[in-house]
Chain A
């Protein structure tokens, strides 16, 4: 029973981060654009969603608007870079900084603090998860199920989109912008489109996370960029990226693995002051897996060959 609980805890924590990782993946890997807007669009997605539900709006509508809001953040970053020629990194930072102020405006507060000025939902206000609840232990199954459905839908859409003519044009833009332009691709437009799409996904992730937490405050998004990047790298290292289908699944699974690590640390009872250090160590171990595997393979191969190999070396 405890294992089942743990499984659902991992899934409900990890699945919103799968979307976050996929969003960051689109800009960071496909478009070769280190986009720092992520925490901004994550926050805006969460703030917009919770504020709408708190004021009586429908949870589905709130989530859809959160996606659009995230896309807007991406649009701004894209425009800053392509039209105003601001460097990629800086464009992301500008949007992220501005979104902190906009978030405060939407929530109606001026001060950033962690444990006050939190916007929370009341018991009667439903999130997209609780809309389907039947009570008891099934709740967490339903919540995980809804998250899983959303992630799968996004994966399908991404797979098909990046196989279309325009999707491939976006990938080409990321891999070789000069050649892409020579092949008739409007790289400004494809960059803006991809950055908007990426941040729309991140906005969705923010909405999903905040509906799981049923609250949001100005500092909610801090730390998620690192989680997203870690998920991408862990996923790629462990599950590989041979084909595009393989790649996006790896990235999504990477987020789940990250939370396996986090929950392992919690269950083992690691002292709370040291937990960040533990995450770092475990992530490094996960990343070194291929090297460790290789090393042991070589070690066994050497032993098998006997003395000759070591003599030659």
Chain B
């Protein structure tokens, strides 16, 4: 639960009293667990300022910011980072152009964790594969561009990456969560493929029905029932394939997960 209590923020660049602008005046806001909040306001109404105060980029002049009862008002940005995943407005800030996709994700992967001088910073294959799966969900082809520098990617791709980095939970706690995600990612491609083919076929059926209406002669009639039968078969086929794949993936994922957790629990990352 996030609470903003009586926060006031005044901006005064020149030190002149007349130039002072009150961005936030005695703001009070509470966000409960699991809530999805949208802040709407016109230009200059203080939206970004509120966000900055929550994440620590700016300090309030008065008031408090509490997270689950803990006072985080005085904490600096990097000290609060473990509680927040921030998606910056500007994708250029959210990701680091000189680093590769993989390096960016490794940064966010360790958010909140202590960065050691003795541990190798490049993740081993289990985590790399995890990253790939996470990237594949966006269907932007990013999973094949892990070692490419982020600077060559488009703004949209970088923003997708920022979103992913913000939502990275480096604690893989729930087994079920893990392999559900894994399964969804694996079967996701199949599902997309299936949808595509099904839509295609459905369109062909539609077209055929139209043609039949206008053609008239039986000789030129396209066998719609044949097409419908193949559609049914296609759907059943895919359902079967996906189910099969899901089973295989689930078992794969469980193995995967156990190994990864073991490694991270015992803190021995092999190169």
Partners in one complex: yes
Chain A positions within 8 Å of B, measured between CB atoms, are: 161, 163-169, 171-172, 175-176, 178-187
Q: Which of B55, B99, B110, B113 contacts A182 (CB 8 A)?
A: B55
Q: Are B93 and A168 in contact (CB under 8 A)?
A: no
Q: Are A165 and B96 in contact (CB under 8 A)?
A: no
Residues of chain B lying within 8 A (CB to CB) of residue A168: 103, 106-107, 115, 121
**What's the Cα separation between A85 and B113 when bound, in Å?**
27
Interface residues of B in 88-128 (CB under 8 A from A): 88, 93-99, 103, 106-108, 110-113, 115-122
Residues of chain A lying within 8 A (CB to CB) of residue B57: 178
**Residue B5, interface by CB 8 Å:** no
Interface residues of B in 45-71 (CB under 8 A from A): 55, 57
Q: Are A184 and B78 in contact (CB under 8 A)?
A: yes
Q: Which 10 A-B pairs have the closest CB atoms?
A: A184-B81, A165-B115, A168-B121, A181-B77, A176-B96, A166-B117, A175-B96, A184-B111, A165-B121, A175-B98
Binding site of A, secondary structure by majority: helix, strand, loop or mixed?
Answer: helix
- Given known A-B contacts A179-B96, A184-B110, A164 and B81 have beta carbons under 8 A apart: no
Q: Are A165 and B110 in contact (CB under 8 A)?
A: yes
Q: Are A164 and B120 in contact (CB under 8 A)?
A: yes
- Given known A-B contacts A175-B99, A179-B93, A165 and B111 have beta carbons under 8 A apart: no
Q: Are B120 and A182 in contact (CB under 8 A)?
A: no
Q: Are A181 and B81 in contact (CB under 8 A)?
A: yes
Q: Are B78 and A164 in contact (CB under 8 A)?
A: no
Residues of chain B lying within 8 A (CB to CB) of residue A182: 55, 77-78, 81, 84, 86, 88
Chain B CB within 10 Å — which of A166, A178, A184 has the most? Answer: A184
Q: How far is the CB of B156 from chain A (nearest CB, A)?
A: 18
Q: How far is the CB of B263 from chain A (nearest CB, A)?
A: 15
Q: Are A163 and B93 in contact (CB under 8 A)?
A: no
**What's the Cα separation between A297 and B203 when bound, in Å?**
54
The contact sample of 16 A-B pairs, CB cut-off 8 A, is A163-B120, A163-B121, A165-B116, A166-B116, A169-B107, A172-B99, A175-B96, A175-B97, A180-B96, A182-B81, A183-B78, A183-B81, A183-B110, A184-B79, A184-B110, A184-B111
Q: How far is the CB of B103 from chain A (nearest CB, A)?
A: 7
Interface residues of B in 22-43 (CB under 8 A from A): none
Q: Which of A164, A175, A176 contacts B116 (CB 8 A)?
A: A164
**What's the Cα separation between A175 and B99 when bound, in Å?**
8
**Residue B82, interface by CB 8 Å:** yes
Q: How far is the CB of B168 from chain A (nearest CB, A)?
A: 10
- Given known A-B contacts A175-B97, A184-B110, A164 and B119 have beta carbons under 8 A apart: yes
Q: Are A178 and B122 in contact (CB under 8 A)?
A: no
Cβ-closest chain B residue relative to A162: B121
Cβ-closest chain A residue relative to B85: A182
Residues of chain B lying within 8 A (CB to CB) of residue A184: 78-79, 81-82, 110-113
